[in-house]
Amino acid sequence: MHNLLDPAILFFVIGVVAGTVKSNLEIPHAISRFLALYLLMALGLKGGFALSHSGLTASVGASLAAAVFLAVCIPLLGYWILRRFVSGFDAAAVAATYGSVSAVSFVTAVQYLENQQLPYGGHMAAAMALMESPAIIMAVVLANALRQKASSGLIALGGGVAGLSAQPVRQGGALGKILHESFTDGAQLLLLGAMVVGLLTGDAGKVAMQPFSGDLFKGMLAFFLLDMGLLAARNFPPAQARSHVLIAYAVLGPILHASLALGLAFLLKLPTGDGVLLMVLAASASYIAVPAVLRHALPESNPALYFGLSLGVTFPMNIMVGIPVYTAVARAVLH
């Protein structure tokens, strides 16, 4: 309940209400894009300033290794589960969506930890960046394997599926393009670049950028969550139309992923704040970067499926309930 009384979360609730009653409240796309870039830049600076104090320690390396492990394990687990209920292409797309991360969920969790005065490592912003691309790459590899099997006559697919006649050379070229887009994505480059700036400038940079990355942060986050509330409300009805199995996965999958992250944090003896952020990253699902790539990389999949589940179900659950629950559990286990 305390999390719901946070101003940023209350603005998210206002957005959900406005979207549900079909209000004409709108945030222009250009402003929404600016807010997203601002939050990533401010988060990168915060992480860099914190990392300039802590340095590169064994705990930092363990956290980053755990993040990479989860980024590989979660989409494989998701694909293995979902393949029984939906087509291979849809299973790969949904698994990639849930194997990647939500930057907004991470930013909200960072703000929550600061409100709770629970310290965390600035390197966790780098962990977020590392976790975004592996799931996309694995989805493309799985899709190419399905296409290869289909073209070889090993599996039967329904009509209307695009790209089954693509040759392996073209598929390799497409994978190369996806790899390039994944590792040169502007949002990731901004995040990591801002982190480097914070790391290099240290305390002097923190003082200079405080009005930008500190004082404005809370208000900008509230404004952006208002827009996210509108989007979540408008994507919930399509998500409701999905099978009960997929709805269950959108709710229970993040809990399972967060539990895996908690287990890793316990084994690696990570600090509580880092453990919370690792859990939030594992439990989150992408609704910006991954869907944008999958529309072109997996045209055989249904965008309404993975976008509706991630933004209509999982994102609101994590923002309003998940973050405080993950924090409470991590405090009990990792203290």
- How would DSSP label each residue in 102-118? -HHHHHHHHHHHHHTT-
Determine the 3-state secondary structure of 119 from DSSP.
coil
CB 277 within 8 A of CB 124: yes
pLDDT value at residue 163? 35
271 vs 295, which has greater pLDDT? Answer: 271
Nearest CA to 200 out of 15, 42, 49 is that of 49
Q: Do 127 and 278 contact (CB within 8 A), yes or no?
A: yes
Residue 18 lies in a domain: no
Tell me if 58 is assigned to some domain.
Answer: yes
Which residue range forms the structural domain that includes residue 100?
A: 29-334
Residue 319 domain-assigned (yes or no): yes
- Encoded tokens for 110: 């960072």
Give me the number of domains the chain comprises: 1
Q: What is the pLDDT of residue 158?
A: 44
How is residue 54 written in tokens?
Answer: 């802590």
Q: Which two tokens stand for residue 328?
A: 């409470």
Residue 157: pLDDT over 50? no
If DSSP codes are grouped into helix, strand and coil, which group holds residue 122?
coil
Residue 21 lies in a domain: no
DSSP letter assigned to residue 23: -
Q: How far apart are the first and last CA of the chain?
A: 23
pLDDT tens readout for residues 231-243: 778 776 766 666 7
162-180 average pLDDT score: 46
Q: What is the pLDDT of residue 2?
A: 53
Locate 57 and state its tokens.
């320690």
The mean-pLDDT minimum among 2-16, 113-127, 300-314 falls in 2-16
Please report, for the domain that includes residue 312, its CATH number.
1.20.1530
Q: pLDDT digit string (tens) for 21-66?
A: 988 888 888 888 888 888 878 878 887 887 777 677 787 888 889 9
Q: 61 lies in a domain?
A: yes
16 burial type by CB count under 10 A (0-12 exposed, 13-18 middle, 19+ buried) = buried
In a domain, 107, yes or no: yes
* Contact yes or no for 82/88 (Cβ under 8 A): no
Structure-token pair, residue 65? 């290794």
pLDDT surpasses 70 at 261: yes
| pLDDT classification of 128: cutoffs 50, 70, 90 | confident
- Give the mean model confidence (pLDDT) for residues 293-321: 82
Residue 54 maps to a domain: yes
Where is average pLDDT lowest: 26-40, 171-185, 239-253? 171-185
% the chain with pLDDT above 70: 83
What is the C-alpha to C-alpha distance for residues 53 and 38, in angstroms, rounded to an integer?
23
**Mean pLDDT for the chain?**
81
C-beta separation of 290 from 136 below 8 A: yes
Which of 323, 271, 265 is CA-nearest to residue 50? Answer: 271
Instruction: Say which DSSP state 3 is in.
Output: G
Q: What does the alpha-carbon distance between residue 143 and residue 31 come to, in Å, rounded to a whole number?
A: 35
Q: How confident is the model at residue 170 (pLDDT cuts 50, 70, 90)?
A: very low
Q: Could you tell me the pTM of the whole model?
A: 0.79
